[in-house]
């Protein structure tokens, strides 16, 4: 049953009052090129797709405006600062250290902390010319309660609007937004933008459907397509034919906030059946992840395969099932370079496979998977993560292997267009910023 978040009268009044002001369509005049640029997102949480989007955006910005000052509002400021060498600040203030203030804050339903957060956002965002939200599925509530990521984006978007800082969504993903309060906040954020582009028509159409005027918005590819591919390292599949199998810690739409153990178990058992069949056919399997949390699912999968006798212990696991640490999309692509076909659950696993011109099957949980696969002429290789069946997957793995050269050429032709489209967006950003 669909869960509805509690909405107070105050919550609704704030959103309704701000929405009546209409979208901010023009930024401050006479600024010239931006001197101080801020980026916002759920970065530093070991979601490699999110971090890859930040990296790609920063590379473009630094090459275009090398003298600008850059700051990132993110989940793990220390990590992002270390990796990218820029200033950082937390999305939310961590809270009071004083015990009395903590008690008062709790007694007021965290009202004091929220007030401080609003003050922090307004005080800090006014120092920037531009606030950029680069890529990622920003305008949705996957694994998020209303007062999680949606509220955080709403708060910073509102602060930017009040302070005259231009807000830009660049190649963003959108929808679905299940909870009404989350939808109201994210629609407000989208309407506040000076510039919006979406990574697929599904996202743009969704925002149109929830009341955002998208007539001037353009669809540009996912930013991760700008990341460099690893250098060629010989023929893939040194141990024979190797299948890249993406494994995800998938617990349903609401994720670990409201985990559905039955969904996770069903998904994992189907992966066990798929892996067993592939091993029986003599293939090597390379397990791929897209977030640090996925290591739990990898461990569960290997344990289940050992329990079935599909693989033994110790060296045999390493010979037939390859697992290696991942810390970025670069690591992921290096591992994918050693595969012949990829079966992917996470969206940016699909993106990385396509970036390498690898034949790929998608086990997706959102329409975004189907959209990018269709864009590459691979729409027939899409399956839903909660409804896929193993026999059709095995048939399609065989089809992709038998016609590998044809599918690589198909993907390669589309990649040329993708690159051109991303260059077009960069030129547009130079003009509007």
Tell me if residue 115 falls in helix, strand or coil.
Answer: helix
| Cβ density class 334-348: b for 16+ within 10 Å, e for less | bbbbbbbbbbbbbbb
**How many domains, in total, are found in the chain?**
2
Residue 12 lies in a domain: no
Q: Looking at the structure, tell me whether residues 158 and 248 fall in a common domain.
A: no
Terminal CA-to-CA distance of the chain, rounded, Å?
44
Q: Looking at the structure, tell me whether residues 251 and 383 fall in a common domain.
A: yes
Q: What is the DSSP letter of 223?
A: G
Q: Looking at the structure, tell me whether residues 283 and 390 fall in a common domain.
A: yes
CATH number at residue 44: 3.40.50.2000
Q: Which helix (H) or strand (E) holds 400?
A: helix 390-402
Residue 415 lies in a domain: no
Q: Looking at the structure, tell me whether residues 388 and 281 fall in a common domain.
A: yes
Residue 111 lies in a domain: no
pLDDT at 259: 72
Q: Looking at the structure, tell me whether residues 206 and 269 fall in a common domain.
A: no
pTM value?
Answer: 0.88
Length of the chain: 433
Per-residue pLDDT band for 114 (boundaries 50, 70, 90) equals: confident
Q: Looking at the structure, tell me whether residues 220 and 266 fall in a common domain.
A: no
If you average pLDDT over residues 387-405, what whole number do you get? 97
Residue 97 lies in a domain: no
Q: Looking at the structure, tell me whether residues 340 and 373 fall in a common domain.
A: yes
Tokens of 239: 């141990």
pLDDT at 83: 96
If you average pLDDT over residues 118-128, what whole number do you get? 94
pLDDT at 9: 39
Residue 3 lies in a domain: no
If you average pLDDT over residues 333-350, what whole number do you get? 97
pLDDT tens sequence across 175-207 = 999 999 999 999 999 999 999 999 999 999 999
If you average pLDDT over residues 50-78, what whole number do you get? 97
Q: Looking at the structure, tell me whether residues 213 and 265 fall in a common domain.
A: no
Q: Looking at the structure, tell me whether residues 157 and 271 fall in a common domain.
A: no
Q: Looking at the structure, tell me whether residues 72 and 200 fall in a common domain.
A: yes
Mean pLDDT of the chain: 88
For residue 156, give its domain range.
32-91+126-227+420-432
Residue 315 lies in a domain: yes
Closest residue by Cα to residue 240 from 339, 310, 377, 331: 339
Q: Looking at the structure, tell me whether residues 43 and 157 fall in a common domain.
A: yes
Per-residue pLDDT band for 34 (boundaries 50, 70, 90) equals: confident
With contact defined as beta carbons under 8 Å apart, do 245 and 274 qualify?
yes
CATH number at residue 303: 3.40.50.450
Distance CA 85, CA 157 (A): 25
Residue 356 lies in a domain: yes
Per-residue pLDDT band for 376 (boundaries 50, 70, 90) equals: very high
Residue 393 lies in a domain: yes
Distance CA 9, CA 216 (A): 34
Q: Looking at the structure, tell me whether residues 425 and 398 fall in a common domain.
A: no
């Amino acid at each position: 049953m669909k869960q509805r978040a509690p909405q107070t009268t105050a919550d609704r009044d704030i959103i309704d009052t701000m929405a009546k002001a209409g979208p901010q369509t023009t930024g401050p005049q006479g600024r010239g090129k931006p001197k101080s640029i801020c980026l916002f997102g759920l970065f530093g949480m070991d979601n490699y797709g999110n971090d890859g989007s930040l990296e790609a955006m920063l590379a473009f910005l630094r090459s275009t405006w090398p003298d600008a000052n850059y700051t990132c509002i993110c989940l793990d400021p220390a990590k992002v600062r270390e990796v990218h060498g820029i200033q950082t600040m937390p999305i939310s203030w961590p809270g009071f250290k004083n015990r009395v203030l903590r008690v008062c804050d709790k007694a007021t339903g965290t009202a004091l902390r929220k007030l401080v957060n609003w003050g922090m956002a307004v005080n800090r965002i006014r120092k920037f010319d531009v606030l950029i939200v680069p890529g990622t599925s920003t305008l949705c509530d996957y694994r998020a309660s209303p007062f999680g990521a949606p509220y955080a984006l709403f708060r910073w978007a509102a602060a930017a609007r009040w302070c005259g800082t231009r807000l830009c969504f660049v190649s963003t993903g959108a929808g679905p937004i299940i909870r009404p309060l989350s939808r109201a906040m994210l629609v407000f954020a989208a309407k506040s933008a000076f510039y919006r582009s979406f990574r697929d028509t599904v996202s743009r159409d969704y925002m149109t459907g929830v009341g955002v005027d998208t007539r001037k918005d353009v669809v540009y590819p996912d930013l991760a397509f700008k990341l460099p591919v690893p250098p060629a390292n010989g023929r893939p599949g040194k141990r024979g034919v190797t299948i890249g199998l993406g494994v995800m810690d998938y617990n349903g739409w609401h994720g670990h906030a409201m985990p559905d153990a039955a969904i996770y178990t069903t998904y994992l058992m189907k992966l066990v059946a798929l892996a067993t069949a592939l091993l029986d056919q003599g293939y090597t399997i390379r397990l791929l992840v897209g977030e640090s949390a996925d290591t739990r699912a990898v461990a569960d999968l290997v344990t289940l395969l050992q329990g079935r006798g599909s693989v033994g212990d110790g060296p045999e696991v390493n010979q037939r099932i390859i697992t290696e640490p991942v810390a970025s999309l670069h690591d992921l692509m290096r591992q994918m370079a050693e595969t012949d076909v990829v079966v992917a659950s996470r969206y940016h696993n699909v993106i990385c496979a396509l970036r390498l011109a690898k034949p790929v099957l998608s086990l997706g949980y959102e329409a975004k998977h189907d959209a990018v696969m269709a864009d590459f002429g691979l729409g027939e290789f899409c399956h839903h993560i909660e409804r896929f069946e193993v026999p059709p997957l095995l048939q399609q793995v065989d089809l992709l292997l038998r016609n590998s050269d044809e599918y690589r050429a198909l993907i390669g032709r589309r990649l040329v267009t993708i690159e051109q489209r991303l260059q077009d967006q960069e030129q547009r950003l130079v003009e509007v910023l």
